[in-house]
Amino acid sequence: MRYADRMSSPTGVPRTLRDRKRDRTRTTLVDAAVELFERNGYHGTTIADIAAAADIGTRTFFGYFAGKEELLFPDTDGRVDAALAAIADLEPGDRPVDVLLRALRDVAGPEGQPDDMVNRLTALRLRLIRTVPAVGGRALQIQFDAQRDIAKHLQQAFPEELDEVTAAALVGAFVGAVDGALQVLLDNPSVSDDPDQLRHQLHHATDIALRPWR
């Protein structure tokens, strides 16, 4: 499955024609980068190569992404938004861990479809995080910022159960469980080639990992 941005805003308001055109260009850039990174390697691919494959100018590229490592992380805001939405929409009897697990299930994908955390881009990103320091460093910064934002809102939603330290620890355990499970699952071809099975095992493994927090 190819990457595609959401076609509506986080508030559900339809995007304008200009927004949709930008979405399509971003999608084209990400798809071109995935193709080139897989074919020529990360270091063997330049921004000019990606821009040319997307049929745009190099200067235009920087209107969409700050650098080529950013092309590997186009969904970060959406995942954080899903977690914050789950926190904001608490259900009766919710515990903090229930909210995080629901956010993992409810992350929205392209045009409202279920998120595919096991797609080609995800597999490529995890592989490059292991082997390219610039990509690994960017991943750590994104993860740190996301965890801090989510933990802050989670603690505010459950002030009697969590303080700043325990909220940070819980969110860290959640993110670590998801990342750890994905690393192993995507290395198993019998699972990684079946998105539904991979998604099921990811959710099951994360649920088990967080049971002590229930």
Strand partners, 155: none
Task: Point out the least confidently predicted range of 7-11, 15-19, 65-69, 74-78.
Answer: 7-11
Per-residue pLDDT of 84-111, as tens digits, reads: 988 999 888 889 999 998 888 876 444 4
Per-residue pLDDT of 24-75, as tens digits, reads: 999 999 999 999 999 999 999 999 999 999 999 999 999 999 999 999 998 7
Domain of 41: which CATH number?
Answer: 1.10.10.60
Say if 111 falls within a structural domain.
yes
Query: Both 83 and 140 in a single domain?
Result: yes
Q: For residue 179, give every residue at least 6 positions away whose Cβ sits within 8 Å of its Cβ, in sequence order, or none.
A: none
With beta carbons less than 8 A apart as the criterion, state whether 100 and 82 touch.
no
Which of 71, 105, 135 is the last residue before a domain boundary? 71
Query: Both 82 and 172 in a single domain?
Result: yes
Query: Both 59 and 104 in a single domain?
Result: no
Question: What is the pLDDT at residue 114?
Answer: 44
Dig out the tokens for 51 from the structure: 């821009």
Rounded Cα distance, 199 and 26, in Å: 25
Annotate 46-79 with b (16+ C-beta within 10 A) or e (fewer). ebebbbebbebeeeebeebbeebbbbbbbbeebb
Which of 71, 96, 113 is the last residue before a domain boundary? 71
Query: Both 52 and 83 in a single domain?
Result: no
For residue 81, what pLDDT band results from cuts at 50, 70 and 90?
A: confident
Count of domains forming the chain: 2
* Boundaries of domain holding 25: 17-71
